[in-house]
Amino acid sequence: MRFELTEEQSLVQSTAREFAKRAVEPKAAELDRSGRWPAEIVTEMAELGFLGMAIPAEHGGAGLDHVSYAIVVEEMSRACASTGVIMSVNNSLFCDPLEKFGTPEQKERVLAPTASGQMLGAFGLTEPASGSDARMMKTVADAQGDGGFILNGAKNWITCGPHAEHIIVFAISTQDAVKPKHTAMLVRRGTPGFSVAAPDHKLGIHAAHSATIFFENVRVAKEDILGEVGAGFKVAMSTLDGGRIGIAAQAIGIAQAAFEKSVAYSKERHSFGAPICDHQAIQFMLADMATEIEAARLLVLRAARMKDLGQKHTAESSMAKLFASEMATRVTHKAIQIHGGYGYSVEYPIERHYRDARITEIYEGTSEIQRIVVANALFR
């Protein structure tokens, strides 16, 4: 078992870290305050090959592995959690399923320009009345005689939705009260009947715009069906296996940033005649934070390595996502405590990390869903 990064992975990490420090972190506070879309950062991520990292070069990607991808998501999220999730969505939730389930024509027409960053993609599974229980979605696709569908419904909390050129939409294509069948399809912005609501107002990740998207008699051609008709749930669950690696890496990046700032602050802040890092209470908090971050990182790297090897990694991805997301909440909570009143102030970045961390326990499967996935693996 290898724990050290390869030479190529180390180079990818140093490139991402330098870019994040130079171009992302200095803008993170402003992006959080203003909520503006970081278009210039997205453009530079595309130039660096960060928007289709594990996609082969012939399909527009960087041709790297998923370990490298997890490393870069962590580095981006360490600087700005919004930037990290924008990158994660394009890689994990859009490009990855297109590479796995797309036709050669779809890969040339949609995947190549998206993996290269010429345009963005998004993933539409969650609905206003259907979150964790995704099978019971209300969006429907009525089959047409030419093999296409007419799509009606709505998807919400669609990260990158206001900016994506295509969205992978999941809809019921065969009605059944107990086990309906679903189909995945590519829907392009601007298609008649496609509309996007105003961006959502959220607790954190303010610059990673999400929105509700509506479909009213949207025509989907046969050529835009992703995977087999009726096998959409398989596409969704396979996609989320990989997506959870990205969100776990995002959580680690957020926690790492809060931890590093806490160590630095503990050396500067004095109380009772000594820097607070000399107090055992602070030392114990920092020790717990460091240990949990490292444990989460190892879980993520294991899941990413299994994906690279083509091994089933459903339970391992869920373990990584569950532990890393709850770890990020615990670490940022302690970071606020170490900073005291300053941690609660918007003048310091710790409260931003705390707000950004909380979503990692919810999207791409709540912590409760991850526990179900892991338990199912135990008793299967």
User: How far apart, in whole angstroms, are the C-alpha atoms of residue 258 and residue 174?
Assistant: 47
User: How far apart, in whole angstroms, are the C-alpha atoms of residue 73 and residue 245?
Assistant: 10
Torsion angles phi and psi, residue 194, rounded to 5: -90, 125
* Amino acid type, 319: M
Say how many C-beta atoms besides its own lie within 10 A of residue 305's C-beta: 18
User: How far apart, in whole angstroms, are the C-alpha atoms of residue 170 and residue 125?
Assistant: 6
93: closest CA among 183, 160, 156? Answer: 160
Q: Which of 99, 292, 351, 364 is catalytic?
A: 364
Exposure string for 238-252, b = 16+ CB within 10 A, e = fewer:
bbbbbbbbbbbbbbb
Look up residue 378 and give its two tokens: 């135990």
According to DSSP, residue 63 is labeled: -
Annotation says 8 is catalytic: no
User: How far apart, in whole angstroms, are the C-alpha atoms of residue 328 and residue 324?
Assistant: 6
Residues facing residue 127 across a β-bridge = 130
Look up residue 278 and give its two tokens: 């000399």
Helices 7-19/66-79 angle, 10° precision: 20
The owner of tokens 């957020």 is 254
CB distance 139 to 172 below 8 Å: yes
* DSSP string over 197-247: PPPPP-SS-TTS-EEEEEEEEEEE-GGGEESSTTBHHHHHHHHHHHHHHHH
Q: Which residues are catalytic?
A: 364
